[in-house]
């Protein structure tokens, strides 16, 4: 009952703080972090223990699938150099730097120090997504940062998994290296297979609760199967989402609207719970330290926070300058500007993955309390220091307005308006009395035109999804005589 009361309190706080966040332009994870700590400090807040394996699949898999579903494959091809640098090189470098600090300043065993580095290394773009979607931020920078937050989780969690196994002597070095060589391609192949199966099955469940339940079951299943096979569970989920997204046209408008709403609520709930559970664990950890140990732990945690922020700034700015001749040589046009580098280097807020990985550490892991406390400090520190200063930084950098998204929206809407006008002109001389049928016929033609624009690379994925949702609402409005509820069969 105490856990339920804590969750309910945090949910009510989250609802209130979400409004504050929207009005003040503060990333909502920053507010959730503060709320989670406040609720965890309440007298009735319980002590809880979670299964490490359950934590990763429960908290990370749905959030990753939700983010990957709307991320275009073509963006990975276009920005592969930047994504490789941020999602692979930066994660490894940050992990190494934090591991050195863990060994030198806290006396952590090397494998445990590497685990800490892997936990705190992947930034989460969700904390900055509201800011990144503004016209004042270059669209290319926003796309790269969103892609980084998908792919860096795979790198970080593979390192995390290996370090945990080494601590418990579960595998030889040769076996670990063999598994790593297979983890990436194997996870991608498994995800593609699952995505195609999902794309084939979901239409048969259209309009039912089973369709939504199947999506969650498939998400958790692909993660668990990949994990059991020693493959990258993150990449398996990402590949599943991106493959399944190709079949979105076969779903009905009602199903898409229901699905988007439910997934948004679930992912938000998981963020709320993650901050609460980490806050509860941190309270127990702090109470377990004597004053001297606590001072040392806090000092170490702030050192880790400083290293994480500094390493990202150095790496991103070094990449920003070093990549210029490469872009010119490959004919990619002008490389990222210094202003873009500054913004990307400051978008290093940690979030869901760091929290979930910290909670997932086994109870008997070496110096687990110190690692969890340091991880929480990094999450809170980056959310407060970088999250609260991100909007002023964007204003200070004064990027030229990026109108590409607006231009694509105007292009798409103009094309669809032309399709509508043509369809109405064709029907003008016909004896048509069914307005709903006409509206549905127009929407069907507009969907085809929208798909053509997307296929011809004249609009990006975000514009495609925006217009698709507008057409979905139009289609539902045209069929308002039909019930808008899911059936339970």
Distance CA 121, CA 104 (A): 18
Distance CA 102, CA 365 (A): 14
Same domain, 346 and 377: yes
Same domain, 280 and 262: yes
Residue 473 has pLDDT above 90, yes or no: no
Same domain, 317 and 387: yes
What does the pLDDT average to over 62-91? 87
Record the tokens describing residue 259, joined without a space: 């699905």
* Single pTM value for the model: 0.86
Query: Which among 96, 129, 163, 141 has a CA at the least distance from the CA of 27?
Result: 129
Domain end among 397, 416, 446: 397
Question: Distance between alpha carbon 326 and the CA centroid of its chain, in Å?
Answer: 29
Between residues 353 and 282, the one the model is more confident about: 353
User: Domain for residue 35, yes or no?
Assistant: no
Tell me: the pLDDT tens digits for 116-125?
999 999 998 7
User: Domain for residue 19, yes or no?
Assistant: no
Q: Give how many domains the chain has, as a whole number.
A: 2
Q: What is the 3-state secondary structure (H, E, C) of 189-228?
A: HHHHHHHHHHHHHHHHHCCEHHHHHHHHHHHHHHHHHHHH
C-beta separation of 388 from 26 below 8 A: yes
Same domain, 350 and 438: no
C-beta separation of 139 from 405 below 8 A: yes
Domain end among 397, 420, 438: 397
C-beta separation of 138 from 399 below 8 A: yes
Distance CA 106, CA 100 (A): 10
Tell me: the pLDDT tens digits for 216-242?
999 999 999 998 888 888 889 989 988
Tell me: the pLDDT tens digits for 133-144?
766 788 888 888
Domain end among 348, 379, 397: 397
Q: How many residues does the chain have?
A: 489
User: Domain for residue 90, yes or no?
Assistant: yes
| Structural domain that includes position 154 | 50-397
User: Domain for residue 12, yes or no?
Assistant: no
pLDDT at position 32 = 72
Tell me: the pLDDT tens digits for 410-440?
999 999 999 888 877 777 655 555 677 778 8
Tell me the percentage of the chain whose pLDDT exceeds 90: 24
User: Domain for residue 4, yes or no?
Assistant: no
Distance CA 277, CA 52 (A): 12
Distance CA 53, CA 200 (A): 29
Tell me: the pLDDT tens digits for 170-196?
555 566 666 677 888 889 999 999 999
What does the pLDDT average to over 333-355? 87
| pLDDT tier, 336 (very low <50, low <70, confident <90, very high otherwise) | confident
What does the pLDDT average to over 154-177? 77
Same domain, 412 and 375: no
User: Domain for residue 275, yes or no?
Assistant: yes
């Amino acid at each position: 009952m105490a856990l339920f009361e804590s969750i309910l309190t945090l949910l009510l706080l989250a609802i209130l703080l979400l409004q504050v966040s929207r009005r003040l332009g503060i990333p909502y994870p920053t507010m959730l972090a503060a709320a989670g700590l406040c609720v965890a400090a309440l007298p009735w807040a319980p002590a809880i223990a979670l299964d490490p394996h359950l934590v990763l699949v429960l908290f990370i898999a749905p959030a990753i699938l939700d983010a990957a579903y709307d991320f275009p494959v073509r963006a990975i091809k276009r920005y592969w150099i930047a994504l490789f640098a941020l999602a692979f090189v930066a994660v490894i470098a940050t992990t190494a730097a934090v591991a050195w600090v863990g060994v030198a300043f806290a006396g952590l065993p090397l494998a445990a120090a590497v685990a800490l580095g892997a936990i705190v290394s992947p930034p989460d773009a969700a904390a900055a997504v509201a800011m990144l979607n503004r016209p004042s931020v270059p669209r290319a920078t926003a796309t790269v940062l969103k892609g980084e937050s998908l792919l860096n989780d795979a790198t970080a969690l593979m390192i995390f998994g290996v370090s945990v196994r080494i601590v418990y002597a579960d595998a030889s070095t040769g076996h670990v290296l063999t598994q790593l060589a297979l983890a990436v391609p194997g996870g991608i192949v498994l995800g593609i297979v699952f995505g195609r199966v999902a794309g084939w099955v979901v239409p048969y469940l259209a309009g039912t609760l089973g369709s939504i339940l199947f999506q969650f079951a498939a998400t958790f299943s692909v993660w668990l199967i990949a994990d059991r096979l020693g493959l990258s569970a993150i990449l398996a989920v990402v590949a599943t989402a991106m493959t399944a997204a190709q079949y979105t046209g076969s779903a009905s408008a009602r199903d898409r609207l229901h699905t988007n709403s439910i997934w948004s609520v679930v992912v938000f709930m998981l963020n709320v719970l993650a901050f609460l559970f980490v806050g509860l664990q941190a309270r127990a950890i702090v109470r377990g330290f004597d004053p001297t140990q606590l001072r040392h732990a806090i000092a170490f945690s702030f050192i880790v926070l400083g290293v994480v922020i500094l390493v990202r700034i150095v790496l991103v700015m070094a990449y920003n300058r070093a990549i210029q001749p490469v872009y010119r040589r490959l004919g990619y046009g002008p490389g990222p500007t210094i202003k873009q580098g500054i913004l990307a280097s400051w978008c290093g807020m940690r979030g869901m993955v760091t929290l979930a990985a910290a909670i997932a550490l086994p109870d008997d892991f070496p110096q687990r309390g110190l690692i969890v406390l340091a991880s929480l400090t990094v999450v809170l520190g980056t959310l407060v220091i970088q999250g609260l200063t991100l909007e002023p930084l964007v204003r200070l950098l004064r990027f030229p307005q990026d109108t590409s998204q607006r231009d694509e929206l105007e292009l798409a809407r103009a094309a669809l308006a032309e399709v509508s006008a043509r369809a109405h002109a064709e029907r003008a001389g016909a004896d048509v009395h069914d307005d709903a049928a006409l509206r549905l016929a127009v929407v069907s033609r507009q969907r085809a035109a929208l798909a053509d624009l997307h296929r011809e690379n004249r609009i990006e994925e975000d514009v495609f999804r925006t217009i698709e949702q507008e057409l979905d609402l139009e289609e539902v409005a045209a069929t308002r005589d039909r019930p808008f509820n899911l059936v339970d069969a």
